[in-house]
């Protein structure tokens, strides 16, 4: 039978999707069997009913679904610790200090941070953008994106809900090529699937030596892969 409130298929007295009382096979409500109602259908407590969320674009709704949270958690567990750009700079600064025989008065990461802030105020920035359309339901695509960000260690900064889409802003960690920035990705519903528009924003730096291009290319390839899990 199907829940009249949310459409979830199931058995027993209550819908596992929304808690609504289910109707019996005869069309009446479940309740005490006084002879006017057919015998209740046996409920198998070992059967876990799933909710089809593949076309759901609302972020809060998706993130509340256990199967989605579990999938993101498994992706996050695959994230590998990477050396940040600041850590690389500090190692380089220590090496310079040893060669000179005198430690630097300020760490290289501190100097880089001040420089980035100064140049950002002057409007200096870099970034790239990339987009694509996919025959993938919009809810599935949004979950793939959240999994990809979790796996790459790109922490969520902000989520902006649209009527038929979602814009996600996440950190783009620093590395050997560029200091920290943002990656902004919109997932919107289109006929037959979903559309992705992604862009990087790295303030205070004029060149990122191909970091943005590599980041966006790899991300969209992963999101569009038929085997994405």
71-89 pLDDT, tens per residue? 999 999 998 777 675 666 6
Query: Please, are residues 208 and 178 in contact by the beta-carbon 8 Å criterion?
Result: yes
| pLDDT of 96 | 61
**Which fold, 76-224?**
Alpha-D-Glucose-1,6-Bisphosphate; Chain A, domain 4 (3.30.530)
30-68 pLDDT, tens per residue? 444 455 444 544 545 444 446 789 999 999 999 999 999
| pLDDT of 25 | 43
| pLDDT of 179 | 85
| pLDDT of 22 | 59
- Residue located via tokens 């290289």: 108
List the alpha helices (DSSP H) in the chain.
Answer: 59-63, 66-76, 85-100, 108-121, 138-151, 211-224
Q: Residue 229: is its pLDDT beyond 70?
A: no
CATH 3.30.530.20 in the chain: give the residue spans: 76-224
What is the mean pLDDT of the segment spanning 192-199?
A: 95
126-169 pLDDT, tens per residue? 999 999 999 999 999 999 999 999 999 999 999 999 999 999 99
Residue 124 neighbours by CB under 8 Å, 6+ apart: 203, 204, 205, 206
What does the alpha-carbon distance between residue 51 and residue 154 come to, in Å, rounded to a whole number? 28
- Predicted confidence band of residue 29 (pLDDT cuts 50, 70, 90): very low
Report CA dihedral (104, 107, 109, 115) to the nearest 10 degrees: -70
As a whole number of Å, the CA-based R_g of the chain is 25
pTM over 0.85: no
Query: Please, are residues 33 and 11 in contact by the beta-carbon 8 Å criterion?
Result: no
| pLDDT of 16 | 45
């Amino acid at each position: 039978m199907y829940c009249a409130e949310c459409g979830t298929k199931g058995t027993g007295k209550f819908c596992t999707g929304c808690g609504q009382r289910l109707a019996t096979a005869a069309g009446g409500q479940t309740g005490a069997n006084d002879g006017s109602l057919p015998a209740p259908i046996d409920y198998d407590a070992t059967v876990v009913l799933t909710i089809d969320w593949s076309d759901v674009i609302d972020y809060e709704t998706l993130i509340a679904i256990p199967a989605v949270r579990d999938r993101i958690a498994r992706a996050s567990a695959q994230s590998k610790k990477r050396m940040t750009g600041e850590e690389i700079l500090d190692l380089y600064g220590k090496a310079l200090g040893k060669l000179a025989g005198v430690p630097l008065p300020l760490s290289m990461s501190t100097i880089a941070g001040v420089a980035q802030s100064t140049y950002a105020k002057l409007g200096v920035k870099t970034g790239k953008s990339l987009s694509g359309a996919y025959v993938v339901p919009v809810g599935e695509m949004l979950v793939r994106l959240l999994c990809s960000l979790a796996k790459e260690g790109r922490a969520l900064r902000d989520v902006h809900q649209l009527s038929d889409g979602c814009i996600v802003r996440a950190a783009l960690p620093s590395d050997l090529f560029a200091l920290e920035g943002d990656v902004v990705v919109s997932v919107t519903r289109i006929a037959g699937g979903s559309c992705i528009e992604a862009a990087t924003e790295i303030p205070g730096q004029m060149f990122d030596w191909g970091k943005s291009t590599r980041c966006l290319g790899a991300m969209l390839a992963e999101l569009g892969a038929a085997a994405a899990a």
